[in-house]
Amino acid sequence: MAIISTAQLARTFATKRGPVEAVRGIDLTVREGEILGFLGPNGAGKTTTLRMLTTLLAPTGGAATVAGHDLATDPAGVRAACGYVAQSGGVDPQVTVREELVTQGRLYRLTKARAAERADELARDLDLTGLLDRKCGALSGGQRRRLDIAMALTHRPKVLFLDEPTTGLDPGSRADLWDLVRRLRAEYGTTVFLTTHYLDEADALSDRLVVVDGGTVVAEGTPAALKREYGGSPDASLQDTFLAVTGRSAAPADAAPVAV
Ligand SMILES: Nc1ncnc2c1ncn2[C@@H]1O[C@H](COP(=O)(O)OP(=O)(O)O)[C@@H](O)[C@H]1O
Ligand SMILES: [Mg+2]
């Protein structure tokens, strides 16, 4: 069953220099429980698509449903079904992990007691239990990303959107985050829609890839199928495949984080 479905979803920004067509009619479906890798170079329209699917940004064309809720007519339903971790999460450095989690629970209208319980549950799931009383400003990059994800899971969303979740993390923290994503799907059946420009990440984590460039879908399929189709063989590197699809190379896995 499709948990996300879009039809010619589009967003044009009006700028002083004229219209910028960030997303130019995207059709995609995501199955429930799938880990979808939304892959593309910087400026491809990944973040804009995610912001539309989570109701943070209104489309200027097309339509979409998330967990059966229509973006245009039932944005509250969409929001209840979604967790969203933005490209650069913002937590207050002065408050503790526990305070952040409890505050988030209260934002979702949990009672004080329930918000405290939920903070403990989330900390357990996201390996933050030992850090509950630490100030957010003292967390490592990987710990902070786990906190961002914990906060996004407060209301037990069916779909988790992660925008470049591992950009800037060291290899060990990236591997931990991949395990976490797999565990979320295994334990809770969470559908995960993640953007990345790391090809090894897309390859290792995704059931299926949708490659976007210039605001449109340029290829989609399982990592193996894409490598076969565009790279010439199942053993082709996703790097070669990406080059064939977009005419450009993606950032190598160990590239320095790119400012966006
Ligand atoms: N608020 C905005 N105003 C004008 N242009 C924007 C805005 N947000 C994004 N864009 C442009 O839309 C295109 C897609 O951006 P984005 O969705 O952030 O790409 P990605 O996440 O794939 O790197 C880029 O050309 C970007 O400059
Ligand atoms: Mg982006």
How far does the centroid of ligand 1 lie from the alpha carbon of residue 222, in Å?
26
* In the chain, domain spans: 2-92+158-246
Task: Tell me the residues surrounding ligand 2 (ion) with CB < 5 Å.
Answer: 46-47
**66 with 159: CB under 8 angstroms?**
yes
Pocket of ligand 1 (CB under 6 A): 13, 15, 20, 22, 40, 42-48, 260
pLDDT in tens, 210-245: 999 999 999 999 988 888 887 777 666 777 777 777
> Which residue out of 9, 15, 48, 242 has the highest number of ligand 1 atoms within 8 Å of its CB and is therefore the one to mutate?
48
Instruction: Return the pLDDT at 259.
Output: 41
Instruction: Mention every residue, 6+ apart, whose C-beta is less than 8 A from residue 152.
Output: 83, 84, 85, 160
Q: How far is CA 138 from CA 93, 173, 231, 255, in A?
A: 7, 16, 44, 25
pTM for this model (two decimals): 0.90
How far does the centroid of ligand 1 lie from the alpha carbon of residue 48, in Å?
6
Cβ atoms within 10 Å of 165's Cβ, excluding its own: 27
pLDDT in tens, 76-121: 999 999 999 988 766 788 999 999 999 999 999 999 999 999 999 9
Q: Which CATH class is domain 2-92+158-246?
A: alpha beta
C-alpha radius of gyration, the chain, whole number: 18
d(CA 9, CA 102): 35
